[in-house]
Amino acid sequence: MSTLVPPRLRNDTFAMPQGVEWVPVDEALELLRAALRPVTGTETLPVAQALGRVLAAPAVARRSNPPQPNSAVDGYGFAHAATGAGVQRLPLAEGRSAAGQPFDGALPEGMALRILTGAILPEGVDTVVLEEDCATDGRTISFDGPIKRGANTRKAGEDVAAGSEALAAGRMLSAADLALLTALGVGEVSVHRPLRVAVLSTGTELIADPAAPAAPHQIYDANRPMLLALLAGWGFVPVDLGHAPDDPAEIARRLDAGAREADAILTSGGASAGDEDHVSRLLGESGTLTSWRIAIKPGRPLALAMWQGVPVFGLPGNPVAAFTCALIFARPALLQLSGAGWRRSQGFAVPAAFAKRKKAGRREFLRARLNANGAAEVFASEGSGRISGLSWATGFVELPDEACDVAPGDPVRFLPYGAFGVSFGG
Ligand SMILES: Nc1nc2c(c(=O)[nH]1)N[C@H]1C(S)=C(S)[C@@H](COP(=O)(O)OP(=O)(O)OC[C@H]3O[C@@H](n4cnc5c(N)ncnc54)[C@H](O)[C@@H]3O)O[C@H]1N2
Ligand code: MOO
């Protein structure tokens, strides 16, 4: 990880509207982290069916990897003690040691044995010479010494020793993890049941079917397929609550259904404080709302609440803000609920391919991608209704809360979508 050198900070006064308490991003994340605990039960699954699941208990190696000392190459094995400097000539023993076909017996000192990659080192063999470095007439081998003791061999358990913890609880199993556990003789794992997360879009203007005709005042519900897809990609079970008009009774009914069917709920729209912003009002009246005006761009209205004991993330309606808040706030919180533990997305410093004068007060996430030189270019517009910018980008440039001036070539922090577990695209 490179340490980020912040862009040139300026000493501006706070540029946010006054009369409102703006919660800094890091503070909001800390509050979430402190408030949420894992909520899912556990089950036992065969390792081959556990991709993407979260370990509920550490996975302990039943067997060492490698289980026995073996050869790393195709060549000839011998006892190092019988060799020295200069040309070495050793008589070849009868037989060989191959993977799955071990040599039966001990090799006498001063002799060599044909040995293949992955084969167990028989008693009397501690060193292997690569076949390309040998000459042989079929009865002897010769090679240039000296050879390092233990050359081209692997020790038993040099990767993982039997009885040791291979993977910690909270690990979200990857394809590589399935290989590791299988190699270690672990056939079953105790995993958390996947978190169920419901998604509700709100807004009287919304219609669901993009193939249906839309009146001028109507908007296709873009947030719902986006959020459902993000959740599926994060290994959660998405629960579709459809879309509701700006009608508090209807929104309440859908939230009730969400609380019955899911462990957490994401809503979009109505998070702000306008006449039709019912989600935040409803959560304030009937739930326990911690409504936050977060010092973030895009996405400052984010309503966080409990509805019948179930956490609700009231995301802003603008699709870019909903996407950004889902990645920055909802994902780590949902991972915490799922037993995977809190995650901070790892970014790295790259040169900026843009110039920007940023005001103080809000952390900014600019839609960005790396150009051919590895520098971050940003989308032409910062408008949070500009969904095409989300598709154009492959990540974000994160600018600090403070005012700063970014000039081309300055280091900026790039967070690829992959750092938020978002795959596909490109
Ligand atoms: N006086 C203020 N007005 C606004 C503020 C503010 O702080 N003070 N914040 C602005 C910001 S920032 C955002 S973001 C929006 C978010 O407001 P809401 O969460 O209440 O969202 P809506 O008003 O319902 O919708 C905003 C916008 O997004 C469109 N939308 C909503 N849902 C969807 C969907 N599922 N698919 C596609 N598009 C959707 C909606 O039609 C609106 O155009 O508030 C600002 N106002
Ligand atoms: O969250 Mo709003 O979309 O920042 O502009």
Grouping H, G, I as helix, E, B as strand and the rest as coil, residue 101 is strand
**Superfamily of domain covering 48-65+159-192:** Molybdopterin biosynthesis moea protein, domain 2 (3.90.105.10)
Averaged pLDDT for residues 62-84: 97
211 pLDDT above the threshold of 70: yes
Question: Residue 273: pLDDT band by 50, 70, 90 thresholds?
Answer: confident
Of 196, 167, 171, 168, nearest in space to 184 by CA: 167
Question: Whose C-alpha lies nearest to ligand 2, atom 4?
Answer: 298
**Residue 195 · residue 184 · CB < 8 Å:** no
**Region 348-420: CATH code:** 2.40.340.10
pTM for this one? Answer: 0.91
Say yes or no to pLDDT of 349 above 70: yes
* pLDDT surpassing 50 at residue 199: yes
Q: Exposed (0-12), middle (13-18) or buried (19+): which is 114, by Cβ within 10 Å?
A: buried
pLDDT at 11: 63
Q: What are the tens digits of pLDDT across the range 146-163?
A: 999 999 999 999 999 999
DSSP 418: G
pLDDT tens-digit profile of 31-42? Answer: 899 989 999 999
Looking at 211-280, which runs of residues are DSSP E strands? Answer: 219-220, 237-244, 264-268
317 Cα–ligand 2 center, Å? 8
Q: Decide whether any atom of ligand 2 lies within 6 Å of the 321 Cβ.
A: yes
Q: Is residue 289 within 8 Å of residue 305, measured between CB atoms?
A: yes
Residue 10 has pLDDT above 80, yes or no: no
Contacts of 34 (CB under 8 A, 6+ apart): none
Ligand 1 mutation pick, 318, 325, 363, 388, max ligand atoms within 8 A of CB: 318
Tens digits of residue pLDDT in 382-419:
988 899 999 999 999 999 999 999 999 999 999 999 99
Q: Are strands 264-268 and 196-202 parallel, antiparallel or unpaired?
A: parallel
DSSP conformation class of 85: S
Query: What are 324's strand-pairing partners?
Result: none
Query: What distance in angstroms lies between residue 313's CA and the mean position of ligand 2's atoms?
Result: 16
Residue 175 above 70 pLDDT?
A: yes
Fold: same for 48-65+159-192 and 348-420: no
CATH class of the structural domain 70-154: mainly beta
Mark 228-248 as b/e (b = at least 16 C-beta within 10 Å): bebbeebbbebbebebbebee
Ligand nearest 272 Cα, by number?
1
Helices 331-338 + 25-35 axis angle, to 10? 20
Spatial CB neighbours of 344, under 8 Å, sequence gap ≥ 6: 332
| pLDDT confidence of residue 335 | 97
So what's the pLDDT on residue 400? Answer: 96
- Give the span between the Cα atoms of 309 and 286, in whole angstroms: 11
Q: Is the CB of 362 under 6 A from ligand 2?
A: no
The alpha carbon dihedral of 344, 349, 355, 361 has a sign of: positive
Q: Is the pLDDT of residue 203 over 60?
A: yes
Cβ–ligand 2 distance for 411 under 6 Å, the answer: no
Query: How many CB atoms within 10 Å of residue 14?
Result: 15
Query: Which stretch of DSSP H or E encloses residue 319?
Result: helix 319-325
What pLDDT does residue 272 have? 81
Query: How confident is the model at residue 281, as a pLDDT?
Result: 86
Whether the CB of 300 sits within 6 Å of ligand 2? yes
* Mean pLDDT (the chain, rounded): 93
- For the chain, the C-alpha Rg in angstroms (whole number) is 30
**Tens of pLDDT, residues 50-71:** 999 999 999 999 999 999 999 9
- What local confidence, expressed as pLDDT, does residue 110 receive? 97
- Give burial (CB, 10 Å; 0-12/13-18/19+) of 349: middle
How is the chain split into domains, by residue range? 17-41+194-338, 48-65+159-192, 70-154, 348-420
Does residue 77's CB lie within 6 angstroms of at least one atom of ligand 2? no
Residue 256 backbone dihedrals phi, psi, to 5 degrees: -60, -45
298 close to ligand 2 (CB < 6 Angstrom)? yes
199 CB less than 6 Å from ligand 2? no
With a 6 A CB cut-off, is 223 part of the ligand 2 pocket?
A: no
Q: Is the pLDDT of residue 96 over 60?
A: yes
Find residue 289's DSSP bridge partners.
Answer: 305
Q: Can you spell out the DSSP letters for 157-182?
A: TSSB-TTSEEE-TT-B--HHHHHHHH
Residue 17 reports pLDDT greater than 60 = no
Is CATH 3.40.980.10 correct for 17-41+194-338?
Answer: yes
